[in-house]
């Protein structure tokens, strides 16, 4: 069916071209340009789905094949203690520390870009609870190891093994629940009031006189595992807040990831890295073994695979996905399809990396085995002036598997760690350019993954059962819009990057052609808004000026058939994924809203950046564990009042303007039809009657898509569109309608 849709699109383009030669009109040319881009976008999408691939992993075979499991450094990033509550970060950290993996092989590094003492306090309290929680999970084979989820109502009969009926288990479970409730209460009290006065001095003194974007480096070793090689041992736990100063760029999340990479390289220097966002807890405790099954595969994994990406799944979602941000169908069809090419795109979280790949090693260099000694001068140019960091990097790049310091003492690395997280350390080095997470885009994940694929590396998609990680999707329209705007801006930044434009990576690098098409599919998130908004404006123009928008006569069947088949095609994907028709419609509606609001705003933001009028801003998405259903059941719209809320952000101006334009066009058209009837004029004056109906149906479809905005115009408070936004949109809509009459 996807090929049939492509054929219909090509037929429509052919009709447009022939009509242009016979009777040129400017609006017909605009329609041709827009529809040509939509056809190209469809080619990007369908070519990624032709070779789906699913990796089957068998951790039990890994343990038989590998004598000793490699170490893994765990990275958790948080940036705002208000938008990303510490209790959420604590649950993520606890689920990581309790994974089914040797404790002495794990080290967890938490980056706090908000420099909040609340985050440090929460982690310290969590470390005390972990002494009891980790043995409990491993002794009773608990499957869900994020405490808040484990003790939720939907998990009362899940997550336990055969021990669940024993008296000892029941006593231990009640004890753990009481301890977790006390932990949660202490953290919540600290967040709502203040950290206990007895803790404001000493280790918390470093936070005095600090601001979010103006503070020195703060590194705290919360827990150090000193060779406790038994199941009750706790992994290392380190808190990091890198130095920030107003006049120094900090490169958002990419800068935080590089700070974690440098500090971990000094302290534990594990050959593998797992990075997760603070809201993504471990849902499958064996996920590290699943990932190592791929990365340690002697045939292809060790030679070709740079990273293993796990999909994102969200808990406590709103019923029928009214915000269209669960991305279930996307992961099933698009992501698995890309996995059959050069591998899935890096998603920024839930990903296992090879450290040597992050350090810039190519497959060709890695295939040589033990590399010759790299000149120290070259290493200093890329990794900076820290001798300790240069030595640890050389150890990784030269392929040595033994620890550079068998008796790891992370406390001894504090001085060097403070040096490498200095805000001026990366100047004149390769960080963010040749090595580490790449700078230059607010979507550092896509850019970093692209740079890895450019070198010729592959990636793999790991989908174990149960799902590896579970997290929180943005709740509320403003948060979802902010995220979509950032994505659109970031995609454009990547396309305009002279080093990492996918086309240049294919021509001058080792990015496969179909992988290039896959990257163009996601970068299109930044380009599509201008074409879709132009198409909508063209529809409004044609309705108001009584000119042709769609083909006339029998050719009208082409777009009608195209729309019907495309809707049936997308509906079949949702039904095959066991989603409801309502969920399908919500995603169709929100697709229009996101593209013509958030992503169009992202496009405008990129234009302003190119004109040097403003810079792009990394907006942190609000994540609230309490907004998710604690019992795991889907919430209805009424259960969460923030589903369709609005704020003063300019991101709502384009959508409100488009809605008002469609309403004005419909009113004008109806008035024109009434006048034609009263004057006994032919309704089909210069138009095909069916064409008029189809134009108006298209406009009606847009009005239905933007129905939440229409309701918002008449509401007040957070559920209503602000008056300032309505005024701006009404002014723009009036100017557009006036322009249409001027050119009529």
CATH of residue 456: 3.90.550
Cβ atoms of 224 and 411 closer than 8 Å: yes
How far is Cα 320 from Cα 579, in angstroms, rounded to an integer? 8
Closest C-alpha among 534, 535, 451, 442 to residue 484: 442
What is the full DSSP assignment across 60-87?
HHHHHH-SSPPPEEEEEEE--TTTS-HH
Tell me, yes or no, whether 351 and 219 share the same domain: no
Identify the domain boundary among 225, 241, 257. Answer: 241
Name the residue range of residue 429's domain: 271-473
Tell me, yes or no, whether 213 and 295 share the same domain: no
- Domain annotation covers residue 585: yes
Q: pLDDT below 50 — which residues of the chain?
A: 157, 159-160, 197-198, 228-231, 404-406, 628-633, 635-642, 683-687
Give pLDDT, residue 167.
Answer: 86
For 209-220, b where at least 16 C-beta lie within 10 A, e where not — what string? ebeeeebbbbbb
Closest C-alpha among 161, 99, 164, 181 to residue 134: 99
How far is Cα 721 from Cα 713, in angstroms, rounded to an integer? 5
Give pLDDT, residue 475.
Answer: 77
Count of positions (residues) in the chain = 744
Tell me, yes or no, whether 529 and 588 share the same domain: yes
pLDDT per residue as tens digits for the range 674-711: 777 665 555 444 445 677 888 899 999 999 999 999 99
- Structural domains in the chain (count): 3
3-state secondary structure 284-333: CCCHHHHHHHHHCCCCCHHHHEEEEECCCCECCCECCCCCCCCCHHHHHH
Cβ atoms of 91 and 470 closer than 8 Å: no
Tell me, yes or no, whether 464 and 503 share the same domain: no
Q: Name, in order, each residue with C-beta under 8 angstroms of 402's C-beta and a sequence gap of 6 or more.
A: none
Tell me, yes or no, whether 213 and 282 share the same domain: no
3-state secondary structure 425-467: CCCCCCECCCECCCCCCCCHHHHHHHHHHHCCCEEEEECCCCC
How far is Cα 18 from Cα 393, in angstroms, rounded to an integer? 62
- Domain annotation covers residue 301: yes
Tell me, yes or no, whether 573 and 695 share the same domain: yes
Question: What's the CA angle centered on 359, arms 467 and 399, to 5 degrees?
Answer: 95
Q: For residue 305, what are the CA distances in angstroms to 45, 339, 514?
A: 24, 12, 18
- Domain annotation covers residue 586: yes
Q: Is 189 helix (H, G, I), strand (E, B) or coil?
A: helix
- Domain annotation covers residue 642: no
Give the sign of the dihedral formed by CA 640, CA 644, CA 645, CA 649: positive
Q: Is 241 helix (H, G, I), strand (E, B) or coil?
A: strand
Half-sphere exposure of 318 (CA within 13 A, CB side): 25
Cβ atoms of 71 and 266 closer than 8 Å: no
Backbone angles phi, psi at 344, to 5 degrees: -65, 155
Cβ atoms of 301 and 100 closer than 8 Å: no
Identify the domain boundary among 201, 223, 241. Answer: 241
- Domain annotation covers residue 215: yes
Backbone angles phi, psi at 55, to 5 degrees: -90, 130
Closest C-alpha among 369, 675, 422, 701 to residue 563: 701
Tell me, yes or no, whether 38 and 174 share the same domain: no
Cis ω for the linkage preceding 466 (within 30 of 0): yes
Q: What is the DSSP letter of 590?
A: H
The position carrying tokens 């440090």 is 120
Q: For residue 138, what are the CA distances in angstroms to 7, 339, 504, 714?
A: 56, 33, 49, 55
Give pLDDT, residue 119.
Answer: 95
Type and span of the H or E element at 236: strand 236-241
- Domain annotation covers residue 302: yes
Give pLDDT, residue 629.
Answer: 45
Tell me, yes or no, whether 585 and 677 share the same domain: yes
How far is Cα 194 from Cα 212, in angstroms, rounded to an integer? 17
Cβ atoms of 101 and 231 closer than 8 Å: no
Tell me, yes or no, whether 374 and 514 share the same domain: no
Closest C-alpha among 136, 204, 139 to residue 172: 136
C-beta atoms surrounding 201 within 10 Å: 9
Give pLDDT, residue 633.
Answer: 47
Give pLDDT, residue 197.
Answer: 41
pTM: 0.92
- Domain annotation covers residue 63: no
Give pLDDT, residue 585.
Answer: 95
Tell me, yes or no, whether 425 and 508 share the same domain: no
How far is Cα 713 from Cα 153, in angstroms, rounded to an integer? 39
The CA-to-CA distance between both ends of the chain, in Å, stands at 40
Strand runs labelled E in 390-537: 458-461, 469-470
Tell me, yes or no, whether 151 and 27 share the same domain: no
Instruction: Give burial (CB, 10 Å; 0-12/13-18/19+) of 552.
Output: middle
Give pLDDT, residue 159.
Answer: 46
C-beta atoms surrounding 505 within 10 Å: 22
- Domain annotation covers residue 12: yes
User: Strand 272-277 to strand 72-78: parallel, antiparallel, or no bridges (unpaired)?
Assistant: parallel
C-beta atoms surrounding 451 within 10 Å: 25
Among all residues, which ones are annotated catalytic? 113, 445
Tell me, yes or no, whether 375 and 428 share the same domain: yes
């Amino acid at each position: 069916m996807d090929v049939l849709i492509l054929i219909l699109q090509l037929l429509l383009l052919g009709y447009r071209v022939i009509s242009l030669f016979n009777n040129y009109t400017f609006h017909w040319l605009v329609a041709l340009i827009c529809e040509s881009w939509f056809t190209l976008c469809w080619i990007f999408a369908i070519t990624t789905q032709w070779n789906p691939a699913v990796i089957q992993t068998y951790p039990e075979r890994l343990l038989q094949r590998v004598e000793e499991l490699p170490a893994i450094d765990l990275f958790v990033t948080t940036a705002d203690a208000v938008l990303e509550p510490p209790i959420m970060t604590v649950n993520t950290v606890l689920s990581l520390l309790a994974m089914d993996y040797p404790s002495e092989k794990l080290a967890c590094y938490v980056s706090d870009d908000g420099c909040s003492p609340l985050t440090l306090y929460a982690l310290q309290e969590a470390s005390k609870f972990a002494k009891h929680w980790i043995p409990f999970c491993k002794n009773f084979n608990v499957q869900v190891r994020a405490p808040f989820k484990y003790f939720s109502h939907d998990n009362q009969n899940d997550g336990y093994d055969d021990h669940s009926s024993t008296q000892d288990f029941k006593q231990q479970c009640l004890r753990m629940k009481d301890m977790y409730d006390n932990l949660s209460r202490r953290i919540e009290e600290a967040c709502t009031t203040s950290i206990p006065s007895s803790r404001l001095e000493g280790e918390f003194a470093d936070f005095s006189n600090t601001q979010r974007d103006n503070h020195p480096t703060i590194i705290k070793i919360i827990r150090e595992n000193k060779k406790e090689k038994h199941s009750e041992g706790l992994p290392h736990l380190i808190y990091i807040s890198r130095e920030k100063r107003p006049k120094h760029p900090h490169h958002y999340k990419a800068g935080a990831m590089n700070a974690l990479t440098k500090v971990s390289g000094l302290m534990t220097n594990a050959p593998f890295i797992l990075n997760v966002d603070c809201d993504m807890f471990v849902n499958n405790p064996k996920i590290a073994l699943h990932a190592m099954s791929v990365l340690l595969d002697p045939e292809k994994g060790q030679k070709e695979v740079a990273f293993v990406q796990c999909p994102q799944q969200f808990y406590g979602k709103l019923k029928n996905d009214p915000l269209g941000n669960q991305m279930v169908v996307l992961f099933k069809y698009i992501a698995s399809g890309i996995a059959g090419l050069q591998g899935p795109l890096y998603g920024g979280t839930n990903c296992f990396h090879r450290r040597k790949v992050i350090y810039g090693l190519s497959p060709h260099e890695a295939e040589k085995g033990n590399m010759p000694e790299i000149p120290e001068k070259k290493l200093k140019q890329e990794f900076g002036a820290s001798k300790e960091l240069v030595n640890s990097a050389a150890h990784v790049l030269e392929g040595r598997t033994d620890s550079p310091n068998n008796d790891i003492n992370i406390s001894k690395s504090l001085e060097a760690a403070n040096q490498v997280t200095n805000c001026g350390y990366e100047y004149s080095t390769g960080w963010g350019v040749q090595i580490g997470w790449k700078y230059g885009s607010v979507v550092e994940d896509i850019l970093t993954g692209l740079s890895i694929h450019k070198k010729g590396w592959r990636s793999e998609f790991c989908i174990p059962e149960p799902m590896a990680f579970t997290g929180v999707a943005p709740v509320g329209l403003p948060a979802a819009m902010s995220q979509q705007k950032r994505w659109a801006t970031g995609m454009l930044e990547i396309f305009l990057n002279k080093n990492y434009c996918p086309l240049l990576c294919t021509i001058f690098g080792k990015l496969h052609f179909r992988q290039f098409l896959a990257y163009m599919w996601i970068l299109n998130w930044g380009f599509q808004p201008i074409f879709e908004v132009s198409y909508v404006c063209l529809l409004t123009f044609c309705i108001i000026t009584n000119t042709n928008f769609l083909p006339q006569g029998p050719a009208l069947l082409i777009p009608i058939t195209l729309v019907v088949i495309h809707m049936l095609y997308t509906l079949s994907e949702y039904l095959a994924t066991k989603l409801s028709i309502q969920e399908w419609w919500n995603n169709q509606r929100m697709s229009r809203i996101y593209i013509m609001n958030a992503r169009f705003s992202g496009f405008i933001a990129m234009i302003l950046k190119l004109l040097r009028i403003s810079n792009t801003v990394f907006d942190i998405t609000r994540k609230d564990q309490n907004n998710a259903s604690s019992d795991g059941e889907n919430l209805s719209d009424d259960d969460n009042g923030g589903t369709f809320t609005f704020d003063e952000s300019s991101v709502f101006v384009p959508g409100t303007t488009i809605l008002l334009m469609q309403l004005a066009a419909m009113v004008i058209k109806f008035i024109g039809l009434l006048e034609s009837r009263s004057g006994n004029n032919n309704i089909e004056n210069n138009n095909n009657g069916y064409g008029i109906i189809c134009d108006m149906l298209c406009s009606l479809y847009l009005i239905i898509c933007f129905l939440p905005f229409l309701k918002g115009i008449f509401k007040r408070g957070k559920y209503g569109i602000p008056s300032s936004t309505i005024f701006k949109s009404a002014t723009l809509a009036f100017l557009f309608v006036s322009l249409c009459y001027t050119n009529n």
